[in-house]
Structure 1
Amino acid sequence: MNTNTIQTTEKTLKNSNRYAKCVEVSKRIRWEIEGDVIRGREFDFTNKFLPDGLSLLNDMIFLTEEECRLLSQIQGRTYANIFGLVERFINTKILEVSRDHALGDQSALEAMIRFSDEELKHQALFRRIENMIAKDMPEGYNFAADANEVASAVLSKSTWAVLGLTCHIELFTQAHYRESIEADEGLSDLFKDVFLFHWREESQHAIIDELEWRREDEKLNDVERDQAITDFIDLVVAVDGILQGQSEADASYFCMISDRTFSSEERNKVQQGLLRAYRWQYILSGAEVPQFTQVLGDLINEEQGKRIADALGTLI
């Protein structure tokens, strides 16, 4: 047996073990929406939903403490809705690529089936959260993006690009919880628990994302990979378009339900502050996660990395 064959066999065994470990952890940490997360509770509107490290409300010095709390709650509502949105296309792509394992590694197949089942549960969780928040907040909130339309647009791009975006999303989910949400004692307990339980399962998903992204990369030639990077940049730009629209909608809603009238300059500052926060939450924070930069760096060359960095630079 030559060296390349030995290395391939060792890599295959290592990857199979990683899929099997994801299955083991998935079974051990399994949770249910009502019994484990909600537990008969309601959201506490005397507290913020998102920590300042994500909401970036410290930059809006013209807002009162009460207004900052309200804007945090609006951001938290959108945060939950964004995750419900992206998990629609993530689940569809995972189901698609899982077919490659159907007559192969059954640990990998089981890991991906469990991944899909958990993503469906997460979508149900975020629909539940939206309904709970909606009944206690004034009417007028609008989440403009349609999950099926967004999924169709995302899935029109290459599998490499979609898996790259998926890995990015599920890694920043973990970073947000560990670095910001977990440590903030001023947040709604229920809101924190939603993202605690979400984080627990997303930790396994990120491992599978990396395995599948690397596996897909091995199929591509240089021309195909270069096009995939173009697709990835297109997806980042499309995400930013969603964030621009939602920041406008959330700013309008905030100004409408607040107890005072804001000047046009203040309204613009709210909208720009929200856009800056949303870009940080859903794009830029993920680009700084070491695991993501490591995997991406393994798959692309220096010139391709510069193309991505230049695209991100326009959002700062």
Structure 2
Amino acid sequence: METTMQNQTADTDTARFARCIEASKRVRWDIDEDVIRGRKLDMTQTFLPQGLSLVDDLAFLLAGERRFLSQVQGRTYAYIFGLVERFINAKVLEISRDHALGDQTALEALIRFSDEELKHQELFRRIETLAGEQMPAGYKQAGDPDAVAQAVLGMSTWAVLMLTLHIELFTQLHYRESLEPDETLSPLFKDVFLFHWKEESQHAIMDELELRRIDAAMTAEQRDKAVDEFIDLVGAVDGLLQAQATEDTRYFLKVCGRRFSESEQQAVGNGFLKAYRWQYILSGAQHRPFQRILGDLINETQAQRINDALAPLVAA
């Protein structure tokens, strides 16, 4: 009976991988022909919507300052996605080896996943170049993608896949609920995340399939340790966000063109960090699909440990 159920699960997974391949072929896009199309970023336009930038919290900013803040955050938004896709691609290539002499459908799907992640990294590098051409000098990235990837990949596959799933689910949430409905955004910036979303939808399905496969082979002790590693990874993400918020606050205040009071400067810094924690941690942690999958794999004690770790970020 157990063998029969395992075979049925394997057949179901293969069918889901096959659908991911079909979707990948259907939505396939090219950076130059479909996304950039010879355009440049227009500094008279907003990049990130209020639902992500939380700029409405800073009522003392003038209209142009609000727009510039959205552009700084938008540049960081693209940079962070390019950064995390470095370790995501490395992990996808690693787990694809498990299927090399087995399920060739799963192998093809994961190789396509990897190829698309490489394309996404290139797209975000191109956007960084375009942003650098239009924005004043002085913007600084707080983390090196390779160094971050090496640190993340030192954790268990379960923890890395859980973080990956979290990221790729909130990517879709952000596009559907904030970016897509806002008609005031830069068309080029919006298109970057439209086309990114089209392929991330398949990636999240494969994240879940591989996460559940890895989880099924773990002992209770291994899973308990992996939960702690996932908590550590979320803490490391928050550390990166704090560093980037500091850099972006410095850049914004330097370039903005007027002097702010000490309390206003502090509010700007707090605003950057609050927005980044919302974008990269809390919006995904509260997303029901992520909560459902996480809840399927952990017990109540482990869930409480995760909630306790997130509580200070929510409170802040």
Alignment TM-score > 0.5, same fold: yes
Aligned counterparts, 1:25-44, within 5 A: 25-44=23-42
Residue 272 (structure 1) aligned to one of 270, 278, 285: 270
Q: Residue 159 of structure 2 corresponds to which residue in structure 1?
A: 161
CA–CA separation in structure 2 for the residues paired with 1:249 and 1:312: 23
Please give the per-residue CA displacement for 1:156-207, whole angstroms capped at 9, x wherever unaligned: 0111000000000000000000000000011000000000000000000000
Q: 2:280 aligns with which of 279, 282, 289?
A: 282
Give distance in 1, aligned partners of 2:202 and 2:104: 17
Which residue number in structure 2 is paired with residue 94 of structure 1?
92
SS in 2 for 1:217: helix
Matching residue's letter, 2:115: D
- Paired residue type of 1:216: I
* Residues 125-158 of structure 1 deviation map (CA, whole Å, 9 limit, x = unaligned): 0000000010111000001100000000000011
1:47, distance to aligned residue in structure 2 (A): 1.5
- Aligned residue for 2:225? 227
Aligned residue-pair number = 314
1:52 match: 50
Identity %: 62
Contact 1:160 1:228 in 2 (8 A): yes
Match of 2:304 in 1: 306
Aligned mate of 1:248, from 246, 253, 260: 246
| 1:5 Cα deviation from its structure 2 partner | 2.5
Q: 2:310 and 2:195 mapped to 1: Cα distance?
A: 30
Per-residue deviation, 1:17: 0.3
Query: Which residue of structure 1 lines up, in the alignment, with residue 236 of structure 2?
Result: 238
When the two chains are superposed, the root-mean-square deviation of aligned CA atoms in Å is 0.7
CA deviations 1:210-257 (Å, max 9, x no partner) are 001111111111111000000000000000000000001001100000
Specify the SS of the correspondent of 2:39. coil
Query: SS in structure 2 opposite 1:315?
Result: helix
Q: 1:68 aligns with which of 58, 66, 72?
A: 66
Looking at structure 2, the residues matched to 127 and 40 of structure 1 have their Cα atoms a distance apart, in angstroms, of 15
**Structure 1 Cα separation of the partners of residues 266 and 32 of structure 2:** 39
Partner of 1:192: 190
Task: Compute the displacement of 1:6 (Å).
Answer: 2.4
- SS where residue 313 of structure 2 aligns? coil
Instruction: For residue 264 of structure 1, report the CA deviation from its aligned partner.
Output: 2.1
Distance 2:261 2:159 in 1: 42
Structure 1 CA distance for aligned equivalents of residues 172 and 126 of structure 2: 21
3-state secondary structure, aligned to 1:44: coil
Tell me how far apart the structure 2 counterparts of residues 105 and 139 of structure 1 sit (CA, whole Å).
50
Between the aligned partners of 2:217 and 2:12, the Cα distance in structure 1 is 19
What SS does the aligned partner of 1:314 have?
A: helix
Offset of 1:44 from its aligned partner? 2.0
Letter in 1 for 2:91: K
State the AA in 2 paired with 1:86.
V
Aligned residue type for 1:171:
L
Match of 1:190, SS? helix
Aligned-partner Cα distance in 1 for 2:301–2:31:
45
Write the letter of the residue equivalent to 1:125. Answer: L
CA distance in 2, matches of 1:72, 1:264: 21
Deviation at 1:291, TM superposition (A): 1.1
Off by >4 Å, runs of 4+ in structure 1: none
Matches within 5 A, 1:207-226: 207-226=205-224
CA contact (8 A) 1:44 1:189 kept: no
Q: How far off its partner does 1:262 sit?
A: 1.4
For 2:111, which of 113, 118, 124 is the aligned residue? 113
